[in-house]
């Protein structure tokens, strides 16, 4: 599956490089929703919530009312997870909170394992948390089997390549695939159809952001990968 990404900051759709530097900004979330209509699911991350700088709840609710969404960013309590479901999330993505067993258990009690995805983001070989600002001593491939019973799947971001459009680290994703049978969605540096097809060969989904916002990946070609009946869709990015 190919999962287009909508990242939110200050009420706008943005794309960042390595979670820090804003590379582009789109005023209208509706514009992106229209362009992503052929895809069965989209990923929405509230960057303000992830960095403890507020939230984009009204916009999240609007997006979730129009598309099937997996939503994350700053989900550090059962109350926040429950609120995202109430706003229309199909699944909730939890990152930092997954490292606190009591909090993780409370989130599971609130929304259930099947509605929960765990984000494991790696930079410099180690998992990073708190909006990618804090490094841990853990490696994602070691954590996957330990956390698998607590979620329906994983979002794994190779932060070293995030937003840089230099390709991703397929060897890293091969190691992750070997570590768990749970669904994995890859993110970070996915730039070409070769990247996507290599991930698909590993039975790993691809979350794609910067490459489609900049036109590096042809949205029409991506749509045909998902649904062949969209073969005549015009290029809109």
Return the closest-CA partner of residue 207 out of 134, 158, 160: 158
> Measured between alpha carbons, how far is 157 from 205 in angstroms, rounded to an integer?
12
CB 37 within 8 A of CB 57: no
Residue 7 annotated among the catalytic residues of the structure: yes
Residues 6+ apart with CB under 8 A from 59: 8, 11, 29
- Side-chain-side CA neighbours of residue 23 (13 Å): 17
Catalytic residue among 7, 48, 195, 205: 7
Catalytic residue among 46, 121, 195, 205: 121
> In terms of residues, how long is the chain?
237
* DSSP type of residue 233: P
Indicate the pairing of strand 153-158 with strand 116-123. Answer: parallel
CB 198 within 8 A of CB 177: no
Report, as residue numbers or ranges, the catalytic residues: 7, 121
């Amino acid at each position: 599956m190919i999962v287009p990404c909508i990242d939110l900051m200050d009420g706008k759709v943005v794309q960042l490089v390595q979670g820090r530097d804003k590379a582009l900004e789109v005023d209208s979330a509706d514009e992106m929703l229209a362009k992503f209509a052929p895809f069965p699911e989209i990923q929405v991350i509230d960057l303000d919530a992830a960095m403890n700088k507020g939230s984009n709840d009204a916009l999240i609710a609007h997006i979730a009312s129009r598309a099937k969404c997996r939503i994350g960013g700053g989900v550090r309590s059962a109350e926040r997870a429950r609120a995202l479901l109430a706003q229309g999330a199909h699944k909730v993505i939890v990152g930092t909170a997954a490292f606190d067993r009591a909090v993780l258990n409370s989130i599971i009690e609130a929304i259930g394992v099947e509605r929960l995805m765990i984000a494991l983001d790696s930079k410099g070989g180690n998992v990073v948390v708190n909006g990618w600002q804090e490094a841990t001593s853990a490696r994602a491939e070691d954590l996957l089997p330990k956390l698998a019973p607590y979620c329906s799947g994983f979002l794994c971001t190779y932060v070293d390549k995030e937003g840089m459009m230099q390709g991703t680290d397929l060897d890293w994703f091969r190691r992750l695939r070997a570590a768990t049978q749970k669904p994995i969605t890859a993110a970070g540096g996915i730039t070409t159809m070769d990247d996507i097809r290599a991930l698909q060969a590993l039975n790993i989904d691809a979350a794609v952001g910067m490459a489609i916002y900049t036109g590096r990946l042809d949205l029409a070609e991506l749509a045909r990968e998902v649904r062949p009946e969209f073969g005549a869709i015009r290029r809109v990015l």
